[in-house]
Amino acid sequence: MSAVCVVTTGHRAGAPELKLAAWFSARLGVPLVPRAGLSLPALVRRYGVSGVLVVSARRASYFCNGEELFFHPSLAKLRISEIKAGKTDWMIKAMALQPGDWVLDCTLGLGVDATVASFVAGNRGRVVGVESSPVLAALVEHGLKTYSDHASRELIEAMARIEVICADHLSYLKELPAESFDVVYFDPMFRKPLPKSAAINPLRFVANPAPLSVQAVQEALRVARRRVVMKETRDSGEFSRLGFTRIEGGKFSPVAYGIIKKRGGNG
């Protein structure tokens, strides 16, 4: 069976790039192939794959269908400075997140929400991010541990604390003991994508597009001590389909957060 992708390096690779490329290759269980002066389309043709993960001195990126996907904390930086300035972050509010809390992010994606949650939960808290796309999980696991460009110490530490698990969230949830996380969070790919979501665009080629299942929400309710939160577009029918009766969000924001509080939970 041919691999979905191959790993290679930039045209002028040194020992550090080769070492990291070998790590990605082992992590993904796909071949590490020589760049051999070839263009990315030529590599795609030669190995019959849909994408190529390239490790260069600058960064590690996944190229697929003309899009480049790489780790970047993007909006997490801004959201953390707004939280520090006392502004409301609607996800944090929906989670009622406090320092020391444990959060299970079942749809890690690029790790933006997880980074903001990790900042608020702090070094006494714990954030575990589950991502079913192996390429994304590997890129984000590496990015969260190594990103440092113009980043503050608290951002670097918040990212580094996140534990990345590559798995389907339903299988992972089933393995967890009851009430083992304060908050379980879902941000599945929106049923109706927002037109201007440039940050999500490169993600579409690797992301799991499946709708959130009722079973996953039930398992999340077992695993959560306090609440289960889901992000979707404001008028999405997913909230009622999945039993999220309480919905919060910014007045002018196209997205909102559905909340299911645990009966008897204190928040």
Ligand X SMILES: C[S@@+](CC[C@H](N)C(=O)[O-])C[C@H]1O[C@@H](n2cnc3c(N)ncnc32)[C@H](O)[C@@H]1O
Q: Which residues bind ligand X (CB under 6 A)?
A: 107, 109-113, 130-133, 136, 168-169, 187-189, 203, 207-208, 210
CB nearer to ligand X: give 125 or 188. 188
> Which residue, 89 or 131, is less far from ligand X as judged by CB?
131
Taking CB atoms, the residue at the shortest distance from ligand X is 109
Q: Which is nearer to ligand X, 195 or 264 (CB)?
A: 195
Say which residues have a Cβ less than 8 Å from residue 166's Cβ, sequence separation at least 6.
Answer: 130, 131, 132, 134, 137, 138, 141
3-state secondary structure the chain: CCCCEEEEECCCCCHHHHHHHHHHHHHHCCCECCCCCCCHHHHHHHHCCCEEEEECCCCEEEEECCEEEECCCCHHHHHHHHHHCCCCCHHHHHHCCCCCCEEEECCCCCCHHHHHHHHHHCCCCEEEEEECCHHHHHHHHHHHHHCCCCCCHHHHHHHHHCEEEECCHHHHHHHCCCCCEEEEEECCCCCCCCCCCCCCHHHHHCCCCCCCCHHHHHHHHHHEEEEEEEEEECCCCHHHHCCCCEEECCCCCCEEEEEEECCCCCC
Q: Which is nearer to ligand X, 49 or 108 (CB)?
A: 108
Rounded least distance, CB 216 to ligand X, Å = 7
Minimum CB separation of residue 89 from ligand X in Å reads 12
Whose Cβ is closer to ligand X: residue 32's or residue 97's?
A: 97
Report in angstroms how near the CB of residue 92 gets to ligand X at its nearest.
Answer: 13
Q: Rounded to the nearest whole angstrom, what is the least distance from the CB of residue 93 to ligand X in the complex? A: 16
Q: Give the nearest distance from C-beta 90 to ligand X in angstroms.
A: 13
Q: How far is the CB of 187 from ligand X (least distance, A)?
A: 4
24 versus 186: smaller Cβ distance to ligand X: 186
